[in-house]
Amino acid sequence: MEFNIDFSNMSYSEIHNYVLKIENDINRESIIKMLLQDGRKTVQKLGDKMYKSIELKEKEIQRVKKMYEFDKNFGNYKYIAGVDEVGRGPLAGPIVAAAVILDLKANGSSDLILRANDSKKLSIACRKELSYIIKEKALAYKIIAIDNKIIDEKGVGFCNNQVFLDCCEEISIVPDLVLLDGYKIKNFSSLNEFVIKGDTKSISIACASIIAKVYRDELMLKYHEEYPNYGFDRNVGYGTQEHVLAIKKYGTTPIHRKSFLRNILENNN
């Protein structure tokens, strides 16, 4: 298709609106060149901004491609599940884990899950958007939660391992290999490998990290509506000063982990 546009007869506002619509235009390099050669400083800055935006996107594509390659380099497995948990340390709420199986053959930027990373490095809005995208693109995923009562009864270490087991056993596609962030699953018959800082290296683990985090955070928001004095909408159950002071003032709720609160409750007597 022939590229034919004259920016010289267009106002900055018209050029700006035009540029917003051409992110994937095959002529964008020619467009950037024209913007940079324009006599108006504002238009030149627009060209420079467009160039830097494309450069950043290309870096992001290459970063995420490496995460896909990391998973594929474990071997010729058809289905690789990434597994991660969130909520091991809070004073209230469940421990949550997710397992995600992706199509690791994805190549085009539209197929890649860009911005995927350790969920703690992402904004709330970014995590929520990515959680939706991950669920749409995943071949299969499973989210499991174990509540505070079972954590109190059996211990967080047991529950941490059990929530991994449940995810891997209940996901709709049986994985050939399971990748985890930090350590292996105990008493698991299938092949599983641990990856140190896996949520920054493995695309599958990063995606599991994100959907588990979003699920648990949204659950804690609902609990905040039921128990508004504890700041669950901000601390999601973790032991912030605000949360500890609320426990001392108002006591515990049905979602608090009593086994985590012994020192706090003893010091309050």
- 154-195: per-residue pLDDT in tens? 999 999 999 999 999 999 999 999 999 988 999 998 899 999
- According to the CATH classification, is domain 80-262 in 3.10.129.10? no
* Residue list for the binding site for a divalent metal cation: 84-85, 181
- Taking the C-alpha atoms of residue 87 and residue 95, their distance in angstroms, rounded to an integer, is 5
In this predicted model, what pLDDT tens digit does every residue of 185-235 receive, in sequence order?
999 988 999 999 999 999 999 999 999 999 999 999 999 999 999 999 999
Residue 20 CA: distances (Å) to CA of 15, 23, 50: 9, 7, 9
| 60 within 8 A of 130, measured Cβ to Cβ | no
In this predicted model, what pLDDT tens digit does every residue of 37-53 receive, in sequence order?
887 888 888 888 888 88
The number of CA neighbours under 13 Å toward the Cβ of 221 is 7
- Taking the C-alpha atoms of residue 11 and residue 165, their distance in angstroms, rounded to an integer, is 61
The one-character DSSP state at 38 is S
Domain boundaries, the chain: 7-66, 80-262
Pairing of strands 192-195, 177-181: parallel
pLDDT-above-90 percentage for the chain: 69
* Residue list for the binding site: 84-85, 181
pTM reported for the whole predicted model: 0.85
Q: What are phi and psi of 201, to 5 degrees?
A: -110, -40
Give the chain's length: 269
